[in-house]
Amino acid sequence: MTDLAAHDQDLSNQIEIAFEELTKLRTDWENGSVQLVVGCYASCVELAQTVDFLVDHEKCYDAQIILRSMLEHFVELRNLELYPSHKHNLHLAHAKNIKLQLQNAATENKFFQNFSQRLDLAKETQNWNKKLEDIQELGGENLNIQQRFQIAGMNDEYESVYRNLSQLSHPTYGGIIRRRECPNFCV
């Protein structure tokens, strides 16, 4: 077995061990902070399994796209570990997203028709506006991805690994060319 194959097998074993430990976890599932930490950790483990699977099947380009998502979850996990109040930033981003969906549902967007017919949009929007105010009072801030990496102390990773992986996740010229160079490119 080559050194690379042995390393790949060891990585696969470590991912399986992490997954097994996750399934054994018993904790206070009603605690929002615990839910966020376990959710980020579980996402990292499951995404690592997906990356491992894709690499085993020589789908390295796609594995790198998934790796980007895993890195984002890891950053949030690290921020929650270092700064438990970071949960307010995540909650604020969630609330802003819900409010945006409600605003979109109030338009003629056909994809929101069923959604807008089931809810009192004015009342729901008012509720989420209040939640946004409450979260901001708790210290929730609107952070972009670069700020999240900076808080985690991972600015170097943002400027190198993350930027490189982002090129593959979006239809950039360089990303499109790199896909063509992959060994299992479908023609």
Global pTM value: 0.79
- 3-class DSSP state of 163: helix
Mean pLDDT of the chain: 85
pLDDT score, position 187: 38
Q: Residue 153 — very low, low, confident or very high, per pLDDT cuts 50/70/90? A: very high
Distance CA 98, CA 128 (A): 8
Contact 158, 149 (CB under 8 A): yes
In this structure, what token pair is assigned to residue 139? 């210290």
- pLDDT tens per residue across span 124-143: 999 999 999 999 999 999 99
Distance CA 7, CA 180 (A): 27
Q: Following DSSP, what letter does each residue of 33-52 receive, concatenated?
A: HHHHHHHHHHHHHHHHHHHH
Beta carbons within 10 angstroms of residue 166's beta carbon = 16
Distance CA 97, CA 103 (A): 10
Residue linked to tokens 């952070």: 143
Contact 106, 121 (CB under 8 A): yes
Q: Residue 29 — very low, low, confident or very high, per pLDDT cuts 50/70/90? A: low
Nearest to 132 by CA among 97, 179, 108: 97
Distances (CA, A) of 77 to 27, 28, 86, 96: 17, 18, 10, 21
- pLDDT tens per residue across span 34-44: 888 888 998 99
- pLDDT tens per residue across span 111-124: 887 777 788 889 99
Distance CA 136, CA 92 (A): 7
Beta carbons within 10 angstroms of residue 79's beta carbon = 25
Residue 11 pLDDT greater than 90, yes or no: no
Q: What average pLDDT does this structure show over 98-120?
A: 85
